[in-house]
Amino acid sequence: MHPDMTGGEREDAAAPLELDRETIRRLERELLGAERTLRRRDIAAAAGVSLLSARKLWRAMGFPNIGDDDVAFTEKDLGALTTIIDMVRQEQLTEDAAISITRAVGQMTDRMVVWQIEAIVEEMVAQRGLSDSDARKTLVTELPDLIEPLEKTLVYAWRRQMNAGVQRLALRAESGLRSSEAGRDGDEQDAPLPLARAVGFADLVSYTSLSRRMNERTLAQLVQRFENKSSEIISVGGGRLVKTIGDEVLYIAESPEAGAEISLALAKAFSDDEFLPSARCSLVWGRVLSRLGDIYGPTVNLAARLTALAEPGQVLVDSVTAATLEQNEKFVLTFHDPRNVRGFGEVRPATLARGTGSGLILD
């Protein structure tokens, strides 16, 4: 209870919300789809696999270790395990591929659930005036009404993303393979890698010092604005957001031109934003290895190094990338003196700027 202006008590202040065990049990039944009645050996035996094989998949999914006598599983768990194992039995997937895909599902859904919970809690705090603790308790009581629409949205998004992936495969079959064969002519470092891609970074300036001066809410707003704006620009430009790491975003595009448009749009967006600081940006065209939802190789490392050399609001590219873009009137390249870049020796960077055209158009 909080005193009001006259020293009395606020009559509309809500008492702390308490959660009883039955509320938690009901929510668990709805989420799991059934009561927990099975032990891990029961599940493995019913699926016709060794306990070791079942544990490999559960571990890949991100489940915690449980004891032999813990009644932790439902018939739904049996169905899910059988589905994965049947793909291996029918030789649709190897065991290693099944574990890798299962790990992808576990890691992505774990991050997604944390993200969704924090977004809803933040909304409750901002719109209802609840404390963080009470917002989290309230979410537990209101979550049953959200399960079905959230699940439908997840399935819808997965199907759309899978379709987009198939379209990208078709595009590569027609023209992307030619790009992959070209790669970075004469570059022995990335020659063995399979995919030619434009790799870009954008790194917020002075993020560390800014974050130290911000409270929790302001910092959250900055991070969310940065990620939302980055994601929108990269998507509109036809690229793929690989990951965000605090104050930095890593993305790829199918062609040097698409990557250049995205880089210029990111640099301009952050420079024009009144709330966000400017960003240092880089772009490198080269070969990469794509694994576990991430990308690897010298091209990625070089792009990261160039980001550190860029000035606020500037997009830097290397000489190979500049050579692929300099005949395109949409871009202007200004070359700089060679710089010694750790792991790459002398690299001649160039500033990428807007030439003709308006660039990416955002709604």
CATH number of the domain that 319 lies in?
3.30.70.1230
Tell me which of 113, 142, 171 is where a domain ends.
Answer: 142
How many domains are there within the chain?
3
**7 belongs to a structural domain:** no
Tell me which of 142, 161, 194 is where a domain ends.
Answer: 142
Residue range 252-273: mean pLDDT, rounded: 93
262 — pLDDT class (breaks 50, 70, 90): very high
As a whole number of angstroms, the distance between CA 311 and CA 351 comes to: 10
C-beta neighbour count of 119 within 10 angstroms = 11
Is the same domain home to 313 and 298? yes
* Structure-token pair, residue 362: 């955002």
Is the same domain home to 123 and 196? no
As a whole number of angstroms, the distance between CA 5 and CA 246 comes to: 42
Judge contact between 298 and 191, C-beta under 8 A: no
**220 belongs to a structural domain:** yes
Is the same domain home to 328 and 237? yes
Judged by DSSP in three states, 120 sits in: helix
Integer CA distances (angstroms), 327 to 302, 330, 331, 333, in order: 23, 9, 8, 10
**330 belongs to a structural domain:** yes
Helix axes 40-47, 75-89, angle to 10 degrees: 40
Is the same domain home to 84 and 221? no
Is the same domain home to 196 and 207? yes
**14 belongs to a structural domain:** no
pLDDT at 8 over 70: no
**361 belongs to a structural domain:** no
DSSP sequence for 156-173: HHHHHHHHHHHHHHHHII
Tell me which of 90, 120, 142 is where a domain ends.
Answer: 142
Residue range 161-176: mean pLDDT, rounded: 68
As a whole number of angstroms, the distance between CA 318 and CA 352 comes to: 10
Is the same domain home to 164 and 214? no
Between 173 and 218, where is the model more confident? 218
Is the same domain home to 246 and 307? yes
Is the same domain home to 79 and 172? no
* Structure-token pair, residue 123: 């909304």
**315 belongs to a structural domain:** yes
Judged by DSSP in three states, 82 sits in: helix
Residue range 285-305: mean pLDDT, rounded: 90
Judge contact between 319 and 224, C-beta under 8 A: no
Nearest to 344 by CA among 310, 314, 300, 311: 300
Is the same domain home to 118 and 195? no
Nearest to 175 by CA among 199, 160, 196: 196
Across-strand partners of 274? none
Q: Torsion-angle region of residue 313: left (phi > 0), alpha (psi -120 to 50) or beta?
A: left
**1 belongs to a structural domain:** no
Between 258 and 363, where is the model more confident? 258
Is the same domain home to 110 and 153? no
**215 belongs to a structural domain:** yes
Q: What is the pLDDT of residue 36?
A: 92
Phi, psi (deg, nearest 5) at residue 353: -135, 165
What tens digit of pLDDT does each residue of 177-222 get?
444 444 454 455 555 676 788 999 999 988 777 777 777 778 878 8
Highest mean predicted confidence (pLDDT) among 6-10, 55-59, 222-226: 55-59
pTM tops 0.75:
no
What tens digit of pLDDT does each residue of 98-121 get?
998 998 898 889 889 988 998 899
As a whole number of angstroms, the distance between CA 169 and CA 40 comes to: 39
Judge contact between 117 and 139, C-beta under 8 A: yes
Q: What is the pLDDT of residue 222?
A: 83
Q: What is the pLDDT of residue 245?
A: 83
As a whole number of angstroms, the distance between CA 311 and CA 107 comes to: 35
Query: Which domain does 223 fall in, by range?
Result: 183-354
As a whole number of angstroms, the distance between CA 263 and CA 281 comes to: 7
Is the same domain home to 101 and 156? no
Is the same domain home to 223 and 347? yes
As a whole number of angstroms, the distance between CA 358 and CA 362 comes to: 11
Residue 83 identity (one-letter amino acid)? T
pLDDT at 160 over 50: yes
Q: What is the pLDDT of residue 9?
A: 36
